[in-house]
Amino acid sequence: MQTIKTRFAPSPTGWIHLGNARTALFNRLFGGEFLLRIEDTDQTRSQPEFVAALLEDLAWLNLNWEEGPASPEPDTYFQSLRSDLYDSYYAQLEKNNRVYPCFCTPHELALSRKAQRAAGLPPKYSGKCAHLSADDIQRRLDEGLQPTLRFRVPPGIGITFEDLVRGQQRFDSDTIGDFIIRRADGTPAFFFCNAVDDALMEVTHVLRGEDHLTNTPRQLLILEALDLPAPRYGHISLILGEDGTPLSKRNGSRSIRELREQGYLPLAVINFLARLGHAYGEETLLSLEQLAERFQLQKLSRAPARFDAKQLDYWQNQAVRAADDDTLWQWLTEPTRKLIPDAHRTLFLTLVRSNCLFPEEAQPWAEIIFGDDFPITENAHQILKQTQSESEFFSAAIEAAHRNPEDYPAFLEALKTATGARGKRLFQPLRAALTGRLDGPEIQRIYTLLGSERTIDRFTRLAKKTPC
Ligand code: GLU
The residue contributing the CA closest to ligand 1 atom 4 is 10
Cα–ligand 1 centroid distance for 232 (angstroms): 15
- Across the range 352-378, mean pLDDT stands at 95
- Across the range 108-129, mean pLDDT stands at 94
- What is the C-alpha separation between 63 and 415, in angstroms, rounded? 53
pLDDT for 465 equals 64
Q: Would strands 305-306 and 239-240 be described as parallel, antiparallel, or unpaired?
A: parallel
- Across the range 320-346, mean pLDDT stands at 97
pLDDT for 295 equals 98
pLDDT for 419 equals 96
pLDDT for 170 equals 98
Q: Is the pLDDT of residue 296 over 80?
A: yes
Q: What is the pLDDT of residues 392-426, one digit of tens each?
A: 999 999 999 999 999 999 999 999 999 999 999 99
Residue 9 binned pLDDT confidence (cut-offs 50, 70, 90): very high
Looking at the chain, the whole-number percentage of residues with pLDDT higher than 70 is 99
Cα–ligand 1 centroid distance for 218 (angstroms): 14
The residue contributing the CA closest to ligand 1 atom 2 is 10
**Is 212's C-beta closer than 6 angstroms to any atom of ligand 1?**
yes
Cβ(102)–Cβ(62) below 8 Å: no
- CA quadruple 442, 445, 450, 455: dihedral sign: positive
Q: What is the pLDDT of residues 41-96, one digit of tens each?
A: 998 899 999 999 999 999 999 999 999 999 999 999 999 999 999 999 999 999 99
Cβ(449)–Cβ(348) below 8 Å: yes
**Is 39's C-beta closer than 6 angstroms to any atom of ligand 1?**
yes
- Is the model's pTM score more than 0.85? yes
Residue intervals of the chain classified under CATH 1.10.10.350 are 334-463
- What is the C-alpha separation between 424 and 309, in angstroms, rounded? 34
Best residue among 8, 22, 39 to mutate for probing ligand 1's pocket (most ligand atoms within 8 Å of CB) is 39
Q: Would strands 148-151 and 99-102 be described as parallel, antiparallel, or unpaired?
A: antiparallel
Q: What is the pLDDT of residues 142-185, one digit of tens each?
A: 999 999 999 999 999 999 999 999 999 999 999 999 999 999 99
Residue intervals of the chain classified under CATH 1.10.1160.10 are 249-327
Residue 47, classed as helix, strand or coil, is coil
Cα–ligand 1 centroid distance for 324 (angstroms): 36
- Across the range 33-44, mean pLDDT stands at 95
pLDDT for 466 equals 57
Q: Which residues are 240's β-sheet partners?
A: 246, 306
Cβ(444)–Cβ(408) below 8 Å: yes
Q: What are phi and psi of 182, to 5 degrees?
A: -140, 130
pLDDT for 132 equals 97
Cβ(396)–Cβ(415) below 8 Å: yes
Please give the class, per CATH, of domain 249-327. mainly alpha
**Is 10's C-beta closer than 6 angstroms to any atom of ligand 1?**
yes
- CA quadruple 307, 313, 318, 323: dihedral sign: positive
**Is 11's C-beta closer than 6 angstroms to any atom of ligand 1?**
yes
- What is the C-alpha separation between 456 and 445, in angstroms, rounded? 16
Q: Report CA-CA distances (Å) from 196 to 27, 41, 118, 122, 362.
A: 19, 14, 36, 28, 51
Residue 96, classed as helix, strand or coil, is coil
The residue contributing the CA closest to ligand 1 atom 10 is 10
Residue 364, classed as helix, strand or coil, is helix
Helix %, strand %, coil % of the chain (to 5):
50, 10, 35
Quick count: other Cβ atoms within 10 Å of Cβ 343? 10
Among 139, 148, 142, 144, smallest CA distance to 186 is for: 148
To the nearest 10°, report the CA torsion of 450, 456, 462, 465: -160
Looking at the chain, the whole-number percentage of residues with pLDDT higher than 90 is 93
Cα–ligand 1 centroid distance for 243 (angstroms): 25
Please give the class, per CATH, of domain 334-463. mainly alpha
Residue intervals of the chain classified under CATH 3.40.50.620 are 83-236
Residue 375, classed as helix, strand or coil, is coil
- Rg, Å, the chain Cα set: 32
Q: What are phi and psi of 367, to 5 degrees?
A: -65, -45
Residue 324, classed as helix, strand or coil, is coil
pLDDT for 253 equals 86
The residue contributing the CA closest to ligand 1 atom 5 is 9
- Across the range 361-373, mean pLDDT stands at 94
Q: Is the pLDDT of residue 265 over 80?
A: yes
Using the 8-state DSSP alphabet, how is residue 405 labeled?
A: T
pLDDT for 1 equals 60
Q: Is the pLDDT of residue 468 over 70?
A: no
Q: Is the pLDDT of residue 97 over 80?
A: yes
Q: What is the pLDDT of residues 141-152, one digit of tens each?
A: 999 999 999 999
- What is the C-alpha separation between 209 and 239, in angstroms, rounded? 9
pLDDT for 373 equals 86
Q: Is the pLDDT of residue 467 over 60?
A: no
Q: pLDDT averaged over the chain?
A: 95
Ligand 1, residue 194: give the atom nearest the CA: 9
Task: Tell me the DSSP string of 417-461.
Answer: HHH---HHHHHHHHHHHHHSSSSSS-HHHHHHHHHHHHHHHHHHH
Q: Would strands 167-172 and 158-163 be described as parallel, antiparallel, or unpaired?
A: antiparallel
- What is the C-alpha separation between 192 and 179, in angstroms, rounded? 10
**Environment class of 105 (CB within 10 Å of its CB; exposed 0-12, middle 13-18, buried 19+):** exposed
Q: Is the pLDDT of residue 2 over 80?
A: no
Q: Is the pLDDT of residue 246 over 80?
A: yes
- Across the range 355-368, mean pLDDT stands at 97
> Which fold would CATH assign to domain 83-236?
Rossmann fold (3.40.50)
- What is the C-alpha separation between 29 and 288, in angstroms, rounded? 8
